[in-house]
Structure 1
Amino acid sequence: MIRFDSHEFRRAGRVPDKLAPIRNVWEKWAERLPCLYNPGPEVTVGEQLVLFRGCCPFRQYIPSKPGKYGIKIRTLCVAKSSYVWNMQVNTRKAASGALEKNGGVRILLDTTEGLRGRNITCDSFFTSNELGQELLKRKMTMVDEVRKNKPELPTVVLVTKGREVFSSKFAFTPSATLVSYCPKRNRSVVLLSTLHKDTEVGDGEDRKPAVVMDYNRSKGGVVNLGKASGIYSCKRVTARWPLVIFYNVIDVSSHNAVVIWNKLNPTWMAGKRNKKRAFLDQLGRELVTPQIQRRGHLPRTAAPAALARAVQGGGTWPQCARGPVCSRFSRGRQTQEVPFLPNEEGL
C-alpha cells in the first residue's frame, strides 16, 4: 500500500524524470548522508546492483554480477568502515535525455562533490588521466586500475610477452605515476596514481609495488557494503521498483547507524559476536515501541472503540450500517461472504 508520490505528480513528471515516483524521498534521504559522518582519508567509489527483475525504465543487465538484473546505484563509501557517504541512482541518461559519451569523469566528480583532501579508489570505468587532473584541482588524489585501451597509455607498459613474473614497470609525469605489474606469466595490471611519486616496492615474495598494495587495501569498500547490508535485510519480494529502492534505503541506513554507533561507543559489547544483530534488534524495538503504546489505548470514537473491545473479548462485534455483509468475492465457482470491518475512523 505504500506510495511515495501522488497520481497527479507522477503524470506530470513521468516523461522527463525516470526517478519521479521516489525522487522526493530519495533526495531528502541522500542529502543527509554526508551530514552525520566525517569520512577518513580513503574513500571508495563503486556501483551497487540492487537485484530486481520487474518492469523498470532503467533496469540493467550485468552478466558479471551474481543477480545479473537490477538497478545500478553509484555509491561513495568510506574504504575502512563502508559507511555510505553519497548515493546516486543510475538512470543511464544525462539530464538532457541523451546518452553520455565518456561520462565517467562527470559521474565521479558529481559523486565526490563536497570532499577535499581524500584519496579515491574507483572502478576502471571511471579512471583516466583527465579524471586525475580534475581531482587534483579539488585537492584530492586517486589510486585506480586503468583499462588497457586508454589512448594515453604508453606502449612500454602494455607489453607482457617475455616479462619476468612479479616485475614492475613505472612511468612518470609531473603529477601522476603509472605502474604495470606482472602477477602471472604474460599477464599484467596497469594502475594510475596521483598519490605516489616513487618506485617503492614491497619486501614480500610477490614484490608488489606500493601503488598495488594501497589499491588492494581500499578497493573493497562497496563490496563490503553489499555483504554487510545483505546479511540482515528488510527486503521483500515486490514487483514495484520504487519499493525496491526504499528497501535498499532502509538497509543502508541501518548499516550507517551501526557504523556511527560503534564509533561513538567503541567498548559496547566488546569481544562479543553478532554486535550488528543485537544493535538492529534493539533499534527495531525502540522504533515500534511508541506505536505499540499508542495502540494499547482505546480510540476515542465509538466504532473503533467497540471494535477494540470486541477483539479484546469485552464487547459485541460492531455491525456495518449497510448490514453485516457488505462485499462478496468469488473463488473459483464458490462465492464467499466477507464481514465488514470498520477502520479507525469508523467508516
Structure 2
Amino acid sequence: MTPGITTFAVRRVSDIKTCFELFMPLSLKRVIIGMTNLEGQKVYGDKWNDLDEECLDAYIGLLLLAGVYRSCNEATESLWDASTGRNIFRATMSLQTFQIISRVLRFDNRDTRARSDKLSPIRDLWEKWVQLLPLMFNPGPEVTVDERLVPFRGKCPFRQYMPSKPGKYGIKIWAACDAKTSYAWNLQIYTGKAASGIPEKNQGKRVVLDMTTGLQGHNITCDNFFTSYELGQELLRRKLTMVGTVKKNKPELPAEISQVKGRAPLSSKFAFTDTTTVVSYCPKKNRSVVLMSTLHKDAAVSSGSDRKPTIILDYNKNKGGVDNLDKLTATYTCQRMTRRWPMVVFYNMIDVSAYNAFVLWTHIDQGWNSTKKYKRRIFLEELGNSLIRAHIERRERVPRDPEAAALVRQLRSPPSTPSTPQRPSTPASSSASTASTPTTTATVTTPTRPPDSKRKRCQVCPASKDRKTSTSCFTCKKYLCKEHSKSVTFCHTCI
C-alpha cells in the first residue's frame, strides 16, 4: 500500500468542489434528496417544492460557510439578519427555505424503518459514506485508533457520557486515522449495549481489529482501553505491529513491572518475549506508566535529560492522530443546534468529508497557498462558495436586501477575466501526473471589473492620495477604493 492519495482519487479531481464530491457523490445525495422529498410531501403536502441536487449543494455550502465564520453557536436568524449577518446567506436562499430544509431533511423512510436497529435513521447513508473513505487515501506507516465524541445532549438511544471529553455527552465514534495527516480512514458509530443488555467482552480488541481491516505493514498506536497482549498477537498474525499504553492490572504483566515503590525517578524496567516488549517508566517518585509494543525489540532509551524509552517517544509522536482530527473539525465545524441526533451525525459527516478533501487537495496541489498559515480556512470558504454558486445563478427572485441583490447580480454577470489565475498542479506521486490540472474556485466576495470600465481615482479619498480603482458604487456610480467600499458594490453613503 503506497502512502498518500490513490490513483482512483487523483483521476477524479479537477478542482476543490470535485475533491469534496469524492466523499459526497451523487449516489449519496440521491438518498438524501429522495428521503427528504418524501418527508416534505408528508409535512407540507402540495406546498412542498421538491429538493434537487443544486439546492442540497447550496444548503451544504451554507453550512460550511457558517463553520468558516465560526457561527456554530450563533442563532440561525442572526446569520440572515441585515445588520449582524452576511450577504452571502441572504443571496443564496431565504431564511425560511433554510429552516424548512433543516426541518424535513431525512436519510431513510421512517415508515419502513427497522425499529430494532438503533442506527436505522441514518445507517444506509453512513455505511455507504464510510466505504468511500479508504478508497481515496492510503495511510502512512503509522495509524492511530481511538474514540471520538460528537457533542449532543438531546434524546438518543446510544448517547454516551465521557467526562474526559470537552462535550462530556454525545455520540461515540471509533476512528482509525493516519497519524501524520489525521485523515479519517475508517469510522464506526458505537450504538451501546446489545438488546440483551449483556456487556461486550474484549471490546477494545474487537474495535481495533474492525478498524484496521484491510491494512498490512502498518503500526497501530492505541491507548490502554484497547491494548492487550492478545490483541498484539492477533495483529502480528495480520502483519501489523502495535504500540500502546497498558493498564497496570492486566494479568499478563509481570509483577516487577507494576511495582513502583523504591524505584528511582526517570528509571525504566523492561520485559521481553519473542514478539513483545513491555516497559515501565518512572517519571517521578511513586509514579509509573506501562507501555506494550510488538514493534520494538530492544531496551533503547533516549539520550535526553528525561531518559525516556524509545517506545514512549514513538507513542507520544503518533498517539494524537484522532485527537487532532477532533480539534481541526471542531475549529470550523458546521454543527447547528438541533434536537435530532441523525442531523448531528450528518453534520459530522460533512465536517470529516471537508477535512479529508482538504488533505487530498494539499497532496495534489502542494504549492496551493503554501505560504499561508490558514490554508484550511481558505479551502473551506472556496468550497462553500463553489457549492452555492449554481443555486444563486438560477434564483427566480432577487433578494430584497440591496447588498444581497447586488451580490446576486454580480454572480450572474459573466466576468471579463477570470478572478483567480489557474495554478499548475504538483502531484504528490508519479501517478498524480495523469490527473488534469486542478484550479482553485473563485471566491464570490471578490469584486470583478465591469467589461467597459476604466481605472480612475477614488472619488472619496482626499486629493493627496492617488488611489486608482475600477470598482464603482452600484447606486451613485462613484469610483471607490477598497478602503471606502463597505461591500463589493456600495459606498458608505449609499448603504
Q: After superposition, what is the alpha-carbon deviation per residue over 1:236-285, rounded to whole angstroms, capped at 9, x for unaligned? A: 01000000000000001111111111111111112112110101111111
Q: 2:309 and 2:374 mapped to 1: Cα distance? A: 37
Shift of 1:8: 1.7
Q: After superposition, what is the alpha-carbon deviation per residue over 1:173-201, rounded to whole angstroms, capped at 9, x for unaligned? A: 00000000001111000000000000111
- How do residues 1-347 of structure 1 correspond to structure 2 at under 5 angstroms? 1-10=104-113, 13-15=114-116, 17-93=117-193, 98-295=198-395, 298=396, 308=397
Shift of 1:291: 2.0
Q: After superposition, what is the alpha-carbon deviation per residue over 1:91-123, rounded to whole angstroms, capped at 9, x for unaligned? A: 123598743122211111011111111000012
Q: 1:154 and 1:127 mapped to 2: Cα distance? A: 16
Relative to the length of structure 2, the TM-score reads 0.59
Q: 1:131 and 1:309 mapped to 2: Cα distance? A: 61
Q: After superposition, what is the alpha-carbon deviation per residue over 1:37-83, rounded to whole angstroms, capped at 9, x for unaligned? A: 01000010000000000000000111222211111000100101100
SS in 1 for 2:213: coil
- Normalized per residue, which structure has more helix? 2
Query: Residues 110 and 121 of structure 2 are in contact (CA less than 8 Å); yes or no, is this contact kept in structure 1?
Result: no
SS in 2 for 1:180: strand
Shift of 1:9: 2.1
Query: Residues 180 and 318 of structure 2 are in contact (CA less than 8 Å); yes or no, is this contact kept in structure 1?
Result: yes
Q: 1:206 and 1:310 mapped to 2: Cα distance? A: 64
SS in 2 for 1:73: strand
Shift of 1:149: 1.1
SS in 2 for 1:31: helix
The residue type equivalent to 1:188 in the other structure is: S
Q: Which has the higher contact order (CA 8 A, sep 6+)?
A: 2
Shift of 1:311: 7.7
Aligned residues: 298
SS in 2 for 1:20: coil
Q: 1:282 and 1:171 mapped to 2: Cα distance? A: 53
| Shift in CA distance, 117/95, structure 1 to aligned 2, threshold 3 Å | farther
Q: 2:258 and 2:387 mapped to 1: Cα distance? A: 56
- Normalized per residue, which structure has more strand? 1
Unaligned runs of 5+ in 1: 299-307, 313-347
SS in 1 for 2:164: coil
| Shift in CA distance, 104/94, structure 1 to aligned 2, threshold 3 Å | farther
The residue type equivalent to 2:125 in the other structure is: V
Q: 2:235 and 2:192 mapped to 1: Cα distance? A: 23
Q: 1:97 and 1:257 mapped to 2: Cα distance? A: 39
Q: 1:123 and 1:263 mapped to 2: Cα distance? A: 29
SS in 1 for 2:138: coil
Q: After superposition, what is the alpha-carbon deviation per residue over 1:202-247, rounded to whole angstroms, capped at 9, x for unaligned? A: 0100001100000000001111111111111110010000000000
